[in-house]
């Protein structure tokens, strides 16, 4: 099978490309290298079944040619990371909304199946219980750009589901919850690689806010496996699935775990959101998925606990 990965030189995209090549597929990657890196695909860049196109998904002529000749599309290209989104709100909305519109419109032209990578940010400030796919969402004011990413991905989901309902385009949506692992960097605000780098360098481990906010971390290998299985399952078409780990940890606990596992003398310091991101920033207090739906359909179950996930990131940065 011929597959296209948008954002294939990114953290998740590069792992997905490796797995699909291992499975015998021919892989086409398009990436503008804004947050993606050639170093992420250096192990596979000379593979005979890999084709790299350095361009933007907004280039419709290039995308039209690519989508015409492939079978499946894994749409991962997006502006990512809290810091990136706060610093570049225009680019965030542009690539996330226009880019997905281009992918879906051209996919529909040739009726090619599409996986849409969405996000746990969709749920907003919802904290009452573990988050299920049909839960209501709670968003902040439009005057706080923190919510631009969540709203742009919401529109992506609405558009994808509309193409399925109206145009009968086969689509699958996966809401990813804090995917982590080797190759992820802290440059754009990703918390685990930031903590690990700081600890290994003996720098303060900076926790934003009071650190009581909780997250659920999933190793990238588990996420990639789930994405591929969802695309291979006809019953997943036209539906939305949480892809994550239902085990929670507070950011304070994560910082302590990283400090202990690295044997670091780094101090854990707390920094206000205002100092980190500017005035008016809002965070999500809790983000834990209900994964019953994906478990029942494809038997998904995260294989790695927090300690093994953290160790894989430590090993990566030590290399």
Taking only the tens place, the pLDDT of each residue in 229-282 is 999 999 999 999 999 999 999 999 999 999 999 999 999 999 988 887 777 677
pLDDT digits (tens, 9 = 90+) for 281-316: 777 888 899 999 999 999 999 999 999 999 999 999
Catalytic residues: 149
The winner for highest mean pLDDT among 132-146, 155-169, 181-195 is 155-169
Q: How much is the pLDDT for 115?
A: 98
Query: What residues does each domain of the chain span?
Result: 2-179+218-246+289-302
User: pTM for the full model?
Assistant: 0.94
3-state secondary structure string across the chain: CEEEEECCCCHHHHHHHHHHHHCCCEEEEEECCCCCCHHHHCCCCCCCCEEEEECCCCCHHHHHHHHHHCCEEEECCCCCCHHHHHHCHHHHHHHHHHHHHHHHHHHHHHCCEEEEEEEHHHHECCCCCCECCCCCCECCCCCCHHHHHHHHHHHHHHHHHHHHHHHCCCEEEEEECCEECCCCCCCCCCHHHHHHHHHHHCCCEEEECCCCCEECCEEHHHHHHHHHHHHHCHHHCCEEEEECCCCCEEHHHHHHHHHHHHCCCCCEEEECHHHHHCCCCCCCCECCECCHHHHHHHCCCCCCCHHHHHHHHHHHHHC
Spatial distance between the Cα atoms of 54 and 70, rounded to a whole number of angstroms: 17
- Mean predicted confidence (pLDDT) in 134-158: 88
Nearest 5°: phi and psi at 142?
Answer: -70, -15
Superfamily the domain 2-179+218-246+289-302 falls into: NAD(P)-binding Rossmann-like Domain (3.40.50.720)
Q: How much is the pLDDT for 79?
A: 77
């Amino acid at each position: 099978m011929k597959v296209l990965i948008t954002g294939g030189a990114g953290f998740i995209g590069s792992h997905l490309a490796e797995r699909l090549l291992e499975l015998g597929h021919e892989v086409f990657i398009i990436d503008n290298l804004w947050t993606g890196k050639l170093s992420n695909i250096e192990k596979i860049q000379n593979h005979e079944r890999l084709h790299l196109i350095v361009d933007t998904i907004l280039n419709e002529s290039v995308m039209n040619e690519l989508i015409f000749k492939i079978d499946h599309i894994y749409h991962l290209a997006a502006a990512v990371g809290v810091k990136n989104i706060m610093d570049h709100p225009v680019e965030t909305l542009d690539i996330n909304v226009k880019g997905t519109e281009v992918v879906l419109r051209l996919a529909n032209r040739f009726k090619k199946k599409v996986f849409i990578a969405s996000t746990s940010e969709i749920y907003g400030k919802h904290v009452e219980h573990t988050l299920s796919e049909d839960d209501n969402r709670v968003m902040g004011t439009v005057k706080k750009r923190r919510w631009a990413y969540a709203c742009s991905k919401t529109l992506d989901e609405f558009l994808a589901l509309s193409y399925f309902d109206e145009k009968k385009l086969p689509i699958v949506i996966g809401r990813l919850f804090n995917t982590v692992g080797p190759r992820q960097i802290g440059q754009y605000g990703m918390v685990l690689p930031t903590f690990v780098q700081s600890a290994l360098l003996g720098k303060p481990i900076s926790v934003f806010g009071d650190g009581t906010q909780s997250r659920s971390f999933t190793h990238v290998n588990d996420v990639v496996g789930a994405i591929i299985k969802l695309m291979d399952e006809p019953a997943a078409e036209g539906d939305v699935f949480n892809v994550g780990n239902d085990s929670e940890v507070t950011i304070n606990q994560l910082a302590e775990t990283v400090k202990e596992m690295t044997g670091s003398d780094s101090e854990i310091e707390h920094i206000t959101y205002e100092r980190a991101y500017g005035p008016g920033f809002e965070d999500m207090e809790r983000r834990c998925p209900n994964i019953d739906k994906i478990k029942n359909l494809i038997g998904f179950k995260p294989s790695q606990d927090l300690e093994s996930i953290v160790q894989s990131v430590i090993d990566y940065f030590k290399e």
